[in-house]
Chains A and B, each alone.
Chain A
């Protein structure tokens, strides 16, 4: 994918003047936007829907965007909100993981696929806020204050949520590892 030079508010201005220039904004942020939803739902179709909705909302609110940095934060915040809202609205629904179907061109360099899948399942089982805080922390390497901004959760609460989710995951994964170690050979 060709990278688009982030220049102050030029991308936004161009898109306001010409609808087709909006494509540059989509391309620049699509991986971040799509991956936030994908890592949250583990469902490619739903992630595409959520990402598209976020872009449409951006298109409608383009005039309010002040800079490229604002644009990126705005998109992150909007996808985060949409993921959590959607999950809450559809709490009764279960999502089937499409993890086994690889993206074309996606190089899978995981060291331990079994463990990675087990970890993925355990992340997916976390409550919405815990999951989203983890994703923002480990996908986009955000600082805690940035996570607080994106999610609208107070900073101290973000710290607590992150600490608790890691603790929870550590105990679950450690248990998984023990189970694997004691699994009889040849099964």
Chain B
């Protein structure tokens, strides 16, 4: 029988190995900065914390693009019936979200900014 199996040495080593560590020095500051600005988004690179102004700028740009595309779609099909116009708008929305997603902007941000409010990720 190995000494690992009989004297609890593994438990002692685990207690040391898995002990609490101090959080990085700027941790509280980072959290508070995020809380103050009130928003964070996910990007393909991971979680990114963005200033509110930047988010607003993104949201405005995405919203403008969405209005243009959806508006153009509706205008183009003005003569068609209501169902056809709705389908066109939905298709434009899907294309927009897909293209933004491919461009690296997170799906949730694109969707919320274009069709919801604010672009702030919701749990």
The interface of chain A, by Cβ under 8 A from chain B, is: 1, 19-20, 22-23, 26-27, 30-35, 38-39, 44-46, 48-49, 51-53, 55-57, 59-60, 103-106, 109-111, 115-116, 119-120, 123, 134-135, 138-141, 166, 169-170, 173-174, 177
Contacts and interface: CB of A to CB of B under 8 A. Distances in A.
A31 B47 contact: no
A94 to B, nearest CB: 15
Contacts of A30: 23, 27-28
Given A38-B21, A119-B17, A170-B2, 9 more contacts: A22-B31, A30-B27, A31-B22, A34-B27, A56-B34, A115-B13, A123-B17, A173-B4, A174-B2
A112 to B, nearest CB: 8
A172 B87 CA distance: 60
Given A22-B32, A26-B31, A52-B47, A170 B10 contact: yes
13 contacts: A23-B31, A26-B28, A30-B27, A35-B21, A46-B46, A52-B30, A52-B49, A116-B13, A123-B18, A139-B19, A170-B2, A174-B2, A174-B4
Interface residues on B, range: 20 to 34
B54 interface: no
Nearest to B6: A170
A15 B11 CA distance: 39
Nearest to A120: B17
Interface of B: 2, 4-5, 10-11, 13-25, 27-28, 30-32, 34-36, 40, 46-47, 49, 123
A139 B28 contact: no
B107 to A, nearest CB: 14
Query: A-side binding surface: helix, strand, loop or mixed?
Result: helix
Given A22-B32, A27-B28, A56-B35, A103 B21 contact: yes
A51 B18 contact: no
A174 B14 contact: no
Nearest to A140: B20
A35 to B, nearest CB: 4
Contacts of A31: 20-23
Given A134-B14, A139-B20, A104 B47 contact: no
Contacts of A44: 24
A53 B35 CA distance: 10
B108 to A, nearest CB: 14
Contact of B22 (A53, A106, A140, A141): A106
A60 B36 CA distance: 12
A53 to B, nearest CB: 7
Contacts of A141: 15
Contacts of A120: 17
